[in-house]
Amino acid sequence: MTRAERIAALKAASRERILVLDGSWGVMIQKRGLDEADYRGDRFAGHPGQLKGNNDLLCITRPDIITELHDAYFGAGADISETNTFSATTIAQADYGLEAAVRDINLEGARLARASADRWTAAEPHKPRFVAGSIGPLNKMLSMSPDVNDPGARSVTFKEVYQAYREQVIALNEGGVDLYLVETITDTLNCKAAIKAILDLEDEGYEPLPIWISGTITDRSGRTLSGQTVEAFWNSVRHARPFAIGLNCALGADLMRPHIAELSRVADTLVSAYPNAGLPNAMGEYDEQPHETGHSLHQWAEDGIVNIVGGCCGTTPEHIAHVARAVQGLSPRKPAERPRAMRLSGLEPLELS
């Protein structure tokens, strides 16, 4: 299939059924018990500083592990698998001194996911598999100061954030992803820089790809870390005309549900949800069992508030297998239809009819 054919197939599938995303990557990589040598490989054997924990680097140094994880999630029933590029920007990789490796990490991450998806599609043509280019948050924010004594201070500029995301999305596009997934958004202004980087590519001759945007509600306040409510966040990014809008991470299904319901009420596009496997315990581990995650997302699907479901921190291929079975045969949510109005956003939404 050409990429245009895959995108058409993705959109067609989203109208017919609830799509399933993969689960956590971090927890699955941690289970491998990898050491420093695994992260370094031959290419980075002499690199200064510790590289262990830089999971994105495994796209280059342990591609076998990344391929196995894509295959495990597709085998569990996922329609979409993310590239292992959550932190593959020059800003995030600066912590490891690996800014020069960013393009290669994204290219290899996209190619590994593409190869796995194509193998599964060839084996099961009735269920095509798709690749989402994972574009994660940064360790620096445009909306908030890193210095409590200087609210106006910033450790990064919009241009720098834009350029970091631009390098990533170009490599993901060239590597063969089917759509971009700007995810775990804590700072909406950072997200806007990513959106601009994506949209600008279309003016430069790159093939336009669907955009999926997923924010993070950080606690019971119902707001992102930069202070926005769910509806205000949607108003802030709606101009990108995303293929899907959703929430992931930070919360388990029980705490995330009211915010997904609110997003479902206001969004005129697909709504996605991939919660954590509950909240972490005192040891930082996730105790929610696969059948529990599956049951929660089954209820959401029955209530007609989701189009795409999956798992975030703590979820495994077993969780995704339960989720896939739980939503099988249930109809996808119909996008909201709202009267025409001017809808603005700050920390709160503002509607002028």
For residue 249, say whether it is annotated as part of any ligand binding site.
Answer: yes
pTM of the model: 0.96
Query: What is the distance between the alpha carbons of residues 158 and 192, in angstroms, rounded to a whole number?
Result: 9
Q: Which domains does the chain have, with CATH numbers?
A: 3-352 (3.20.20.330)
Mean pLDDT of successive 10-residue stretches along the chain, which has 353 residues? 96 98 96 97 97 98 98 98 98 98 98 98 97 97 89 94 98 98 96 98 93 92 92 97 96 94 97 95 90 97 98 97 98 94 91 85
Is 191 annotated to bind a ligand? Reply is no
Report the pLDDT value the prediction gives residue 219, as an integer from 0 to 100.
80
What is the per-residue burial (b if ≥16 Cβ within 10 Å, else e) of 135-168?
A: bbbbebbbbbeeeeeeeeebebeeebbbbbbbbb
